[in-house]
Structures are given as C-alpha cells and as structure tokens.
Amino acid sequence: MKLYFAPETCSLSPHIVLRELALPFELIRVDNKTKKTAGGDDFLAINPKGYVAALQIDNGEVLTEGPAIVQYLADLKPEAGLAPANGSWERVRLQEWLNFITSEIHAGLSPLFNSAIPDQVKAIFKDKLYKRFDQIATTLEANDFLLGEQFGVADAYLFTVMRWNKFFGIDLERWPAIVRYMERIGSRAAVQSAIAAEIAHA
C-alpha cells in the first residue's frame, strides 16, 4: 500500500493506524501547493480531489477520506480491535464519532488556517469549537478513549486534528481531560514513530 501524506494534515490519522496495525506501506509526501509528490508525480492524477490522505492499495484502487481509510485499515486486522465489528451497534457509535470529528472539529478548525478571514469571524468559529471541546471533555472524563477503554481509529483522528490547536493559540488547558488524552495518545509508540517519519520526510 501507498499512503500519500503531507505533514501536519489529517493524513497523520491513517498513518498512525497503519503503524498501530504493523501493516506494510510506502509513505509518499505530497506538496499541497504544487500538487506534486516527492517523486515528481502529479498527485491530481492519483486523487483528483487534490488533498491528502489518499491510500493506494495493491490492486491500484485509491481510497480517499480519512474516516473511510481508517475503517478500511482496521478491518484488515480486526483482531487488533481498532474498530468494532461491522454491523455491530458499537461500529455505529464509531461512525458517529468519526462524523462528529469530521464535521465539527476538522471542519471547524480548517477555516482558522485562512489568513484572509478576519479575527472577529475566527472568534465565532472558536466559540463553536469550544462548545464541541466541552462535549469531548465530558466523554474523556469518564473514559480513557472515545469508545471506552481501548484506543481506536477515532482516537487517531481526533488526536490528529486536535494537534492543530497549537497553530491558533488555543490553549487546551481549559479542558484537562483533553490534555491528558492528548498526552496518553502522544505517548504511544506508533504515534511517535508516525510523527517522526513525517518529520524525516519534510
């Protein structure tokens, strides 16, 4: 498999999952501005959407969208327990979390990268995010991870996007349960190796 990534983007999530599962893969960096891979290939020919993550599997098929990719990967090694079984109520809960992270956290943080948006407008986005962080903190005050006591693919995704807060001066100390969660996940060997590998490819 080939994982197309860019540093400090949502592609870190499937990268972490690949390493958690010890699956063989090739890491290929994409320049988000030029849409060229590190090898000079046209990334738009691989993923016409133009953004990472993209996972090319061995038969040549390309899968995009982080929540779909991480579920696909988890199902390759169901015994690892990174996602509940397909068709189970717990799997629906996982999908609920993945959709929440996508629509409320990922999409909520993304506009803050746009320097053309006035600070007053960014403050509106931040206020909404803080309400969502309150909801996440409530879950994490009761559980070590989003679905209970076991790390899973939703945690890889939430950890990835919550790391972006540092770019916007958002201090997570207001949510101690989230701070502990980020430290808990950041200490995992697969997470540390994924981050190190992306830095090495920078």
Six-digit token string for 117: 């948006």
108 and 132 inside one domain = yes
In this structure, what are the phi and psi dihedrals at residue 189, rounded to the nearest 5 degrees?
-60, -40
Say how many C-beta atoms besides its own lie within 10 A of residue 188's C-beta. 17
**Taking a C-beta distance cutoff of 8 angstroms, is the pair 190, 198 a contact?**
no
Which CATH number goes with the domain that contains 45?
3.40.30.10
166: amino acid identity, one letter: K
Instruction: Report the pLDDT averaged over residues 164-184.
Output: 97
Q: Which residues pair with 148 in a beta bridge?
A: 145
21 and 56 inside one domain = yes
Asked whether residue 81 carries a pLDDT value surpassing 90, the answer given is yes
Asked whether residue 202 carries a pLDDT value surpassing 90, the answer given is no
Average pLDDT, the chain: 97
Asked whether residue 103 carries a pLDDT value surpassing 90, the answer given is yes
53 and 112 inside one domain = no
Q: Model pTM?
A: 0.97
Name the pLDDT band for 167 (thresholds 50, 70, 90). very high
74 and 128 inside one domain = no
CA distance 179 to 201: 28
102 and 11 inside one domain = no
Each residue's pLDDT tens digit, 117-131: 999 999 999 999 999
pLDDT value at residue 138: 98
Give the length of the chain: 202
Name the pLDDT band for 38 (thresholds 50, 70, 90). very high
> 99: number of CA atoms within 13 Å, CB side?
6
Structural domain for 59, as ranges? 2-80+190-200
Instruction: Report the pLDDT averaged over residues 76-84.
Output: 98
Domain count, the chain: 2
Asked whether residue 201 carries a pLDDT value surpassing 90, the answer given is no
